[in-house]
Chain A
């Protein structure tokens, strides 16, 4: 089944404890992206990647890192999480860099205490 998977789905952590949210797609998509969704602010792009080893900042990249060593994986790294990074995170992928439907993962709900 074609899908985007994220792990973990739910995470409670404490300020400053490094964490990684994994994202994997099995559709051989070139483009992958991370969004966060917050009440009243909607969905905002954090980082995106047009292909392996090619990443760039979205609208709200501060406090996040990403890597794209393989085509299928696009992990989101929070080196030192803070409470303002409490949010619902979505990974998405699409076949090409533009003009195509984006496929979203199920989301990761993160709470930083």
Chain B
């Protein structure tokens, strides 16, 4: 059974500092890995999707890497801003069926 872990559960940084969020998964037979952002009381917004054949994806200040063999992904957010404060979730998709298995999330607070 696939298990996804995100450490730390919470993170607080001063504005301008780079954020590094970690995600690990137990079964390397994944189809893809996705990073989501969740704001309090709201739904999930997809940030990046990395296919299993890719090593990384970038979007603006966000960069996500994937090391399937070691079962790890890292989300980097450069030059953090207070607006980056949210919970970040990673999820892996099985080889078929589009079932997503989610990690518990990392709650990020960026202090002005």
| Shortest Cβ gap from A7 to chain B (Å) | 14
A81 within 8 A of B: no
Complexed CA–CA distance, A103 and B41 (Å): 16
B102 touches A31 (CB 8 A): no
Complexed CA–CA distance, A100 and B46 (Å): 11
Chain A residues with CB below 8 A from B91, complex form? 43
Which residues of chain A from 94 to 109 have any CB-CB distance to chain B below 8 Å in the complex?
Answer: 94, 96-107
| Shortest Cβ gap from A6 to chain B (Å) | 8
A74 within 8 A of B: no
Chosen A-B contacts, 18 in total, with CB atoms closer than 8 Å, are: A40-B104, A43-B91, A44-B102, A48-B97, A48-B98, A56-B97, A90-B44, A97-B97, A97-B98, A98-B97, A99-B51, A99-B93, A99-B98, A101-B49, A102-B98, A103-B46, A104-B43, A104-B45
A88 and chain B: residue at smallest CB distance: B41
A61 within 8 A of B: no
| Chain B residues touching A, range | 20 to 34
A58 and chain B: residue at smallest CB distance: B99
**A47-70: contact bitstring with B at CB < 8 Å (1 yes, 0 no)?**
010100000101000000000000
A48 touches B46 (CB 8 A): no
A45 within 8 A of B: yes
Chain A residues with CB below 8 A from B41, complex form? 107
Picked from A4, A42, A48, A100, the residue with its CB within 8 Å of the CB of B99 is: A48
B93 touches A98 (CB 8 A): yes
B100 within 8 A of A: yes
The answer to whether A102 and B100 touch (CB under 8 A), given A90-B44, A107-B42, A107-B43, is yes
A33 within 8 A of B: yes
Picked from B45, B98, B104, the residue with its CB within 8 Å of the CB of A42 is: B104
The answer to whether A94 and B103 touch (CB under 8 A), given A104-B44, A104-B45, is no
